[in-house]
């Protein structure tokens, strides 16, 4: 549960860090949005360092959680309801994340 919560927080930090510049560039938002965007992306990078396993495995598994959080963002922030295909894809991503993070490992 702790790992999943850390993945969710990491994904949220990345999405906010990317969404704010998008608002600035595409929706004529204030350039001041770049300051919290930079802070959010710095938080994202720091949060990735807190994961207890090898960075490559973390990045691979994190991608599955990111997909799900991005679809939640699509629904709650952008107001677009994900399709059943979106949800199926997200489920497959989470399954892949679970295999990567929690699968058995050979002894080193």
- The list of the chain residues with pLDDT below 70 reads 54, 108
- Our count of domains for the chain comes to 1
Which pLDDT value is given to residue 83?
Answer: 97
**Residue 108, in any domain of the structure:** no
Task: Please state, in angstroms and rounded to a whole number, the distance separating the CA atoms of residues 20 and 24.
Answer: 6
Tens of pLDDT, residues 44-55:
999 988 877 767
Q: How far is residue 40's CA from residue 20's CA, in Å, rounded to a whole number?
A: 10
Tokens standing for 63?
């991608």
pLDDT of residue 100: 84
Domain encompassing residue 12? 2-102
Q: What is the pLDDT of residue 55?
A: 73
Give the pLDDT confidence score for residue 106 in this predicted structure: 81
35 domain residue, yes or no:
yes
- Asked whether residue 107 is assigned to any structural domain, the reply reads no
Q: What is the pLDDT of residue 54?
A: 67
């Amino acid at each position: 549960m702790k790992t999943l919560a850390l993945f969710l927080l990491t994904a949220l930090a990345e999405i906010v860090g990317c969404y704010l510049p998008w608002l600035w560039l595409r929706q004529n938002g204030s350039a001041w949005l770049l300051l919290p965007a930079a802070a959010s992306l710095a938080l994202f990078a720091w949060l990735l360092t807190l994961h207890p396993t090898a960075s490559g495995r973390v990045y691979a598994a994190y991608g599955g959680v990111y997909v799900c959080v991005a679809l939640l963002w699509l629904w709650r922030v952008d107001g677009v309801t994900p399709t059943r295909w979106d949800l199926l894809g997200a489920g497959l991503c989470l399954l892949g994340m679970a295999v990567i993070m929690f699968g058995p490992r050979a002894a080193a």
